[in-house]
Chain A
Amino acid sequence: MTIDTDTSENSLVSAAPTRRLTIAKAMTEAIAQEMRADSSIIVLGEDVGKLGGVFATTQGLFAEFGPDRVCDTPISESAFIGAAVGMATSGMRPIVEMMFVDFFGVCMNSIYNVAAKNCYFSGGSQPVPMVLMTSVGGGYSDGGEHSQVLYGTFAHLPGMKVVIPSNAYDAKGLMSAAINDANPVIFMFHKALQGMGWLGTVRGSITDVPIERYEVPIGQAAMIREGADITLVGLGITVHHALEAASELQEKGISAEVIDLRTVVPLDRDRLVQSIRKTGRLIVVDDDYQSFGVASEIMALASELAFKHLRSAPARVAHPDVPIPFSPVLERHLLPSSAKIVAAAEKMIRN
């Protein structure tokens, strides 16, 4: 995949100087800029200190801010995520890294019963301003405990905002917005987009990023390619699959509109409905397990809010409901791809 994401319509600071950054560098830059402006912001997690994060999310922060503000923790996710809640309710703005989203199983109580519910149970008097950043995604044979995305799991449980950047521009802006949000924000970054030498990187994730700080508002999807015949909805890496598919479809005379969700909680229903009503056709591309997830939710939304405008039944290209296998032959067979999207779109339009 080699398609660059066009971020021109996203650019809020178009005249400002930019450089091309990876998502990892964009995240780090946002964190550093926010930390310089607000001493209540700290970073906690495994290997976030001198190592700078296993996925390079905190490179250089330890040297600049020291061990009190960029703190390596024990391998105790329940404790340090729970501790972040206590910090957040004591006037701080912690950013915690859960190295792989797959690790949520050892600490979900701290996340969904504590971080996500305090605000509600307290009638709003005890908000929890914290960011939980976590790596997601497979495609590099890391096996089924280090390759999931689990967007739907986090999106399903109320009380957490959930953001998923597909490119460096959005990553920086969403990170700044997340840090300054009064609520728990789950920031899910896809390993295949991260810009790590040892992982391979989808080129489109590397974009021009302003040097100045800025925010990408949480809750706003972006229409990143305009089209008339079909709406392709993606998030994270599947945005790039969708863009590639849109180019291939263009050659076949099919005009595809591509929407990058950027945020799944709160979901930008208006933007989605607008596009679905226009094109009358919908394919959701999601590398999460197919059932009960983001793709299902958007298809439900289409039937609830755009039923009369649908020209055919919506479809989804998602990971089937099986654990993620190790062997590249098996994993590739299950993951979404532009070819699968093109095939689904052609089938939909032929019918």
Chain B
Amino acid sequence: MLTLEKKLWMYEKMVLSRLYEQAIEQAYFEGKLPAFNMANGPIPGEMHLSNGQEPCAVGVCAHLRSDDAVTASHRPHHIAIAKDVNLRAMTAEIFGKAAGLGGGRGGHMHLFDPQVSFSCGGIIAAGMAPAVGAARARQLAGQDTVAIAFVGEGAANQGVFHEALNLAAVWKAPVIFVIEDNGWGISVARDACTAVQGNAIRAAAYGVPGIRIENNDPVAVYEAAGEAVARARRGDGPSLLDIETWRLAGHFVGDTQEYRPHGELQALTERDPIPAFRAQLFASGTSERVLMDIENRAAATVADVITFARDTPYPEPAEAYEKVFA
């Protein structure tokens, strides 16, 4: 049952995630204009924003506890936020600071917060097998905790996707594979590189339930994820959720997206899941005041973590030699 309290939690995480990405984007462009040079500015390197994909993160993570493991991809911020990763430390990591989750060694694609069992990585599909292992470890320990692997739809064409599904099914591991299907692997459309009509049906090859969730709807994701998580906690094994979502940003910040069909991005932006969810909450009786409070709280949090990340010091260069081994 999706309570109002949970709905408001989901809305707050979605808003927080979006405002966070907007603040990151703004900081990212500092020092990179007029001539775009990826190495410049307070946030150098690649930056993959999650604008539009918030329903996937909140609909799934609403069911999770801090000791449920999550692995995410190169586009991890919305999921980290929904999983309650320490946002000050995460932001400091993105800015390359000593107070970052990894002391500045990982960057935005390599965020690790063991307090909430969160990790992510920059290689497509690489988090799937670790999620299977994390699930197996929980199963062997007799716990009812689960593991979630978030991947994009492009990951379904990686070999390890299939290895991981098979292994999870063999072990009946409490793992849920979540495909955030935004339709695009950088510039290549899903249908141009996928031999089947959507990836949910691929789960059948491994005897795993595969559920397609349309319309980037946080409530629909919540319902489907609830069943999958409950199934895993019961000991009934893995599931695959294939969620239609929308990439409302470029693959990376600076991506001109000329490969997208004319009008697609505008049409999807008009269906932005955050205003839609807000309207739904308002229509069902949540007051403007409550919604504004949530939005103001999220904005304050973003301002706090960005300020923290800017002000906290860089690591000493010699710290680069530390932490190769435990």
- Which A residues lie within 8 Å of B121 (CB)? 113-114
Assess A83 versus B114: contact at CB under 8 Å? Given A114-B126, A121-B105. Answer: no
Give B189 Cβ to nearest chain A Cβ, in Å: 25
Residue A312 lies at the interface, judged by CB distance under 8 Å to chain B:
no
Give A162 Cβ to nearest chain B Cβ, in Å: 12
Q: Does B326 contact A92, Cβ atoms closer than 8 Å?
A: no
Of B136, B137, B325, the most chain A CB neighbours within 10 A belong to: B325
Residue A91 lies at the interface, judged by CB distance under 8 Å to chain B:
yes
Residue B119 lies at the interface, judged by CB distance under 8 Å to chain A:
yes
Residue A89 lies at the interface, judged by CB distance under 8 Å to chain B:
yes
Distance between Cα atoms of A121 and B326 in the complex (Å): 12
Q: Does B106 contact A114, Cβ atoms closer than 8 Å?
A: no
Distance between Cα atoms of A121 and B119 in the complex (Å): 10
Q: Does A74 contact B126, Cβ atoms closer than 8 Å?
A: no
CB-nearest residue of chain A to B173? A83
Give A93 Cβ to nearest chain B Cβ, in Å: 10
Distance between Cα atoms of A74 and B164 in the complex (Å): 10
- Which A residues lie within 8 Å of B100 (CB)? 123
Q: Does B138 contact A123, Cβ atoms closer than 8 Å?
A: no
Contact with B along A84-128 (1 / 0, CB 8 A): 111111111010000000000010011001100111111111110
Residue B102 lies at the interface, judged by CB distance under 8 Å to chain A:
yes
Residue B230 lies at the interface, judged by CB distance under 8 Å to chain A:
no
- Which A residues lie within 8 Å of B163 (CB)? 74, 76, 78-79
Stretch at the interface among B15-23, B127-135, B245-253: B127-135
- Which A residues lie within 8 Å of B170 (CB)? 74
Distance between Cα atoms of A82 and B125 in the complex (Å): 11
Q: Does A110 contact B132, Cβ atoms closer than 8 Å?
A: no
- Which B residues lie within 8 Å of A84 (CB)? 133
Q: Does B130 contact A82, Cβ atoms closer than 8 Å?
A: yes
Assess A183 versus B325: contact at CB under 8 Å? Given A83-B132, A86-B132, A120-B105. Answer: yes
Give A88 Cβ to nearest chain B Cβ, in Å: 8
Give A129 Cβ to nearest chain B Cβ, in Å: 8
Residue A249 lies at the interface, judged by CB distance under 8 Å to chain B:
no
Q: Does A85 contact B101, Cβ atoms closer than 8 Å?
A: no
Q: Does B137 contact A86, Cβ atoms closer than 8 Å?
A: yes
Q: Does B324 contact A159, Cβ atoms closer than 8 Å?
A: yes
Assess A83 versus B112: contact at CB under 8 Å? Given A113-B121, A122-B102, A123-B323. Answer: no
Q: Does A159 contact B126, Cβ atoms closer than 8 Å?
A: no
Number of interface residues of A (CB under 8 A): 43
Q: Does A86 contact B126, Cβ atoms closer than 8 Å?
A: no
Q: Which of A114, A117, A123, A129 touches B130 (beta carbons < 8 Å)?
A: A114
Contact with B along A179-202 (1 / 0, CB 8 A): 000110000000000000000000
Of B112, B130, B323, the most chain A CB neighbours within 10 A belong to: B130
CB-nearest residue of chain B to A117? B110
Tell me the residues in window 155-206 of chain B with beta carbons closer than 8 Å to chain A beta carbons. 159-160, 163-164, 166-167, 170
- Which A residues lie within 8 Å of B123 (CB)? 109, 113-114
Give B326 Cβ to nearest chain A Cβ, in Å: 3
Residue B147 lies at the interface, judged by CB distance under 8 Å to chain A:
yes
Residue A328 lies at the interface, judged by CB distance under 8 Å to chain B:
no
Give B22 Cβ to nearest chain A Cβ, in Å: 26
- Which A residues lie within 8 Å of B105 (CB)? 120-123
Q: Does A121 contact B132, Cβ atoms closer than 8 Å?
A: no
Q: Does B119 contact A119, Cβ atoms closer than 8 Å?
A: no
Q: Does B114 contact A86, Cβ atoms closer than 8 Å?
A: no
- Which B residues lie within 8 Å of A68 (CB)? 140
Closest 7 CB pairs of A and B: A82-B129, A86-B133, A83-B133, A127-B326, A122-B112, A86-B130, A79-B163
Using a CB–CB cutoff of 8 Å, the interface residues on chain B facing chain A are 69, 71, 100-106, 110, 112-114, 117, 119, 121, 123, 126, 128-138, 140-141, 147, 159-160, 163-164, 166-167, 170, 322-326
Using a CB–CB cutoff of 8 Å, the interface residues on chain A facing chain B are 42, 68, 73-74, 76, 78-92, 94, 106, 109-110, 113-114, 117-127, 129, 158-159, 161, 182-183
**Can you name 24 A-B residue pairings with CB atoms under 8 Å?**
A76-B167, A79-B132, A79-B160, A80-B167, A82-B128, A83-B130, A83-B167, A85-B129, A86-B71, A88-B133, A89-B134, A90-B138, A91-B137, A92-B137, A109-B126, A110-B129, A113-B123, A114-B123, A120-B323, A122-B112, A122-B114, A123-B106, A125-B102, A126-B119
